[in-house]
Amino acid sequence: MKLRAKKPHEELAEDIALLIEAADGYRVGRNTDLRRIRDVMDRRAKELTDVFAGGLRKKFEKTADYVINLPAIDPAAKKWSAVFLVVRFLLRIALLGFMVSLIVVTLGKDWAPWLLYTSTGILYVVFFLRWYSLVKLEEFYIQEFAKRPGRDKILRETVNRLIGKLAQVIREHDLKPKKHRLHLFKTDYEEIRVVKKPNILRDTYVVEVLVDAAG
C-alpha cells in the first residue's frame, strides 16, 4: 500500500506548527534545539516574511538562545533539568514494565502480584519525580521571566503571529484544523480553543486553531 504524499501546503502547516510549539516551549523551559528551528525558519523564510516582519525573527532567536542557556546560570535549575530528562526516559521503561506485569497477571503466575505491586510502585515514583522536576523548572522560569518580562512578550508575540499564519494556511487551502492541532504549555494566545487539558501522561494542552476567527 502506497502512502499518500503530503501536499506542499500540508508540509507548510506542519512546519509552522513545529515553530509554534517550540516558541511556546521556550516560555516554560521545554527547549527545542535552536539549530533545528533556524533550519525551518530559513527554509520557510519566503512564506513567513509577514510573520517575522519588524525584526521579530532576530528578537525571537536571541530570546530562545537566552532561555536555552538559562539553566547554566543556576545550579538548582541545571539539576532539575537533568532530572527531568532522566525521568522522562525512565517513564517509558516504567510504563513498559507496568504493562508487562498486567500481562503476567492474566497468565496466572504465582509471582505476578509481586511484580504488579513493584512495577506500580516504581511507576508512581517516576510520575512524582517527573511532576516535581517540572514544577521546579516552571518556578525557575517564572522567576526569570518576571525579571525580564520583555523576553516572554517576544515569545508570546511570535506564537500569536505564527498561529495567525497557520490559520491562514488552513483556511486558504481548505485544510482540517483537527489534523493540525497543537500541543502547547500555555494557552494565553489568540485564535485558539482548548480541546484537551494536560493529564498524567501529557504535560501539554491540545489546542485547535480557530480558522473563522482569523477570517
Predicted local confidence at residue 46, as pLDDT: 95
**Residue among 186, 192, 185, 188 nearest 214 (CA):** 192
Q: What is the mean pLDDT of residues 89-117?
A: 84
CA distances from 85 to 78, 88, 91, 129, 202 (A): 11, 5, 10, 11, 15
Which of 88-92, 150-154, 179-183 bottoms out in mean pLDDT, i.e. has the lowest?
88-92
pLDDT at 99 over 90: no
For residue 191, what pLDDT is reported? 93
C-alpha cell at 72: 547554566
- Asked whether 192 and 210 are in contact (CB, 8 A), the reply is yes
Average pLDDT, the chain: 89
Rounded to an integer, the average pLDDT of 18-22 is 98
Give me the pLDDT at residue 4, please. 59
Domains of the chain, by residue range, sit at 8-72+149-214, 73-146
CB atoms within 10 A of CB 101: 20
Q: Report the C-alpha dihedral over residues 92, 98, 102, 105, rounded to 10 degrees.
A: 140
pLDDT at 190 over 90: yes
Pick the range with the lowest mean pLDDT from 38-42, 55-59, 88-92. 88-92
16 pLDDT band, cuts 50/70/90, is very high
Task: Write the single-letter amino acid at 206.
Answer: V
Local confidence band at 2 (pLDDT 50, 70, 90 cut-offs): low
pTM of the entire structure? 0.83
Please answer whether residues 11 and 168 qualify as being in contact, where contact means their C-beta atoms are separated by less than 8 angstroms. no
Say what the pLDDT of residue 42 is. Answer: 97
Judge whether residue 215 has pLDDT over 50. Answer: no
